[in-house]
Amino acid sequence: MSSQQQHHKYKRPDVSVRDKKLEVLNAQLKKVDTEISSLRKQIDQNQVNDATQQERKKLQDQTKEIIKTQAELKTRRNAIHDSIKQLDSQMKRKTNEINEKLGRKAKFSTPQEVKQRLAEIEDSISSGNLSLVDEKMLVKEMQSLNKLNKDLVAIEPIKKSVDQDKAKIVALKEELNQLNPREVAAKFETTQEKLNTLVSKSQTVYDKRQTLYNKRSALYNKRDEIYSQIKQIRADFDNEFQAFKQKLEKERLKREEDQKLSKLLEEKDGQLGKLQEKLSHAKQPAFTFEIEAIENALLSLDPTYEKPKKNVFGELEETKKPESQPVKAVVADDLVLVSNEKEQSNYSNTAPSKSKKHKKKQKSAASATSITDNGRFSLEPTLIAMLAELDVIVPISKEEVPKAIEQLKHKHENFLAKQDEQTDKNISEVEKEIEKLELGYSKKEEQIKKELEAKRVQEKQDDKENN
């Protein structure tokens, strides 16, 4: 298919149509960019003066510092509350430990009180005014007090620890009272009021700037929409153009496949033609040239021999002996023996030659012997060459002729006996060559199709990666 026919078959996407659409959108885009630039200038012009901005920044920094202080106060107060709770819990645990050791009904809580009571009991006993029962009761009380005194001495460190915890709690509560967040909160409110007053004075400027910001955002959105439309138009055109290229590429690959297959078929037909010609030669009876040469040699050497001929069906018919024609005699003394060291080939499929050389040889061999006036025996050079080629003895006298005739007839019989078998073998070998050729070209054709298919797949993959 020609390039012009392809363009008629596949319509190329029109660039001018795409450019006209883009031209309209680019004009809109230019207009939007101009409006955005104008709004930027207005935003830059509507600014709060530097003094106000500095004052505002100062108040904002103070506010941040107050908030930081409040956070630190809160953290410290929470830590103090946690410490008080922890100390209070320790005091309760220690108090319970003291009560468990002394008992809740103990009348004395210090060793001094116990010593004082013991002294009183001793005085009472020493006075001798007590009855035996009272004295025993006092002795029993003394024993109890001695035991209680030991317990009081043991818990004295615990009681001191409780007193220390109480003192710590008092100190922590005093520190908590000093960390009054109200002063910081009041300072924060004062600073915030100043900041709000400053902001309210600049609110008009802020409102106008916000309006300009809103307009600019709307224009940004509109510009993005135009960009999206431009991108879509370009993408649609690119997709159409890509589809167009793929169609052309598909057509090109199809042409390439057809060309390769056509070239392969042409090459196959050429080689197949040669093999067909070879097959036609192989179908000719084998050893035709050798048999024909032997028969011509026999005609020359044996006057009684009649050369058989084949009819149109390939059957042998007896024919009359052709008349001998006088030829130039070669004196036997001048003959040179030719030795053929080359062995007879097992395979011979030479068709009857149509060349003038072989015709001349066969014609000359038909009358290749003669006897001169002086009785000397002579042979035609062509007959000598033929006998040498057939590996038959070349007679140099009449006495050696029968031996040569016997060898020729023996070879003639051998060639005829092997002719059909050799012919079938020749035909079979050529047919195998044809079959091998057909199979080889079938594989080549399949390979070409696979390579082109792989090329299509690779090109599609490359297109996807590029996109």
Residue-wise pLDDT for 238-279, tens only, equals 988 888 888 888 888 778 778 877 887 888 788 888 888 888
pLDDT band at 315 (very low <50, low <70, confident <90, very high): very low
Average pLDDT, the chain: 76
pLDDT band at 217 (very low <50, low <70, confident <90, very high): very high
- pTM, rounded to two decimals: 0.36
What pairing do the DSSP bridges indicate for beta strands 308-310 and 316-318? antiparallel
- Please choose, from the candidates 278, 310, 291, the residue with its C-alpha nearest in 3D space to the C-alpha of residue 352: 291
Could you tell me if 230 and 318 lie in one domain?
no
Work out the percent of the chain whose per-residue pLDDT is above 90.
10
Residues listed for the chain: 467
Could you tell me if 56 and 168 lie in one domain?
yes
Could you tell me if 220 and 290 lie in one domain?
no
What range does the domain containing 170 cover?
49-201
Find all residues with CB under 8 Å of 176, minimum gap 6, and list them: 77, 80, 81, 84
Residue 43 falls within a domain, yes or no?
no
Residue 342 has pLDDT above 60, yes or no: no
103: region left, alpha or beta (phi > 0 left; psi from -120 to 50 alpha): left
Largest CA distance in the chain: 210
Could you tell me if 59 and 154 lie in one domain?
yes
Mean pLDDT, to the nearest integer, of 75-96?
86
Q: Do 398 and 381 meet the contact criterion of CB atoms below 8 Å apart?
A: no
Residue 359 has pLDDT above 70, yes or no: no
Could you tell me if 193 and 226 lie in one domain?
no
Residue 231 falls within a domain, yes or no?
yes
Mean pLDDT, to the nearest integer, of 169-192?
82
Q: How many domains does the chain have?
A: 3
What's the pLDDT at 109? 61
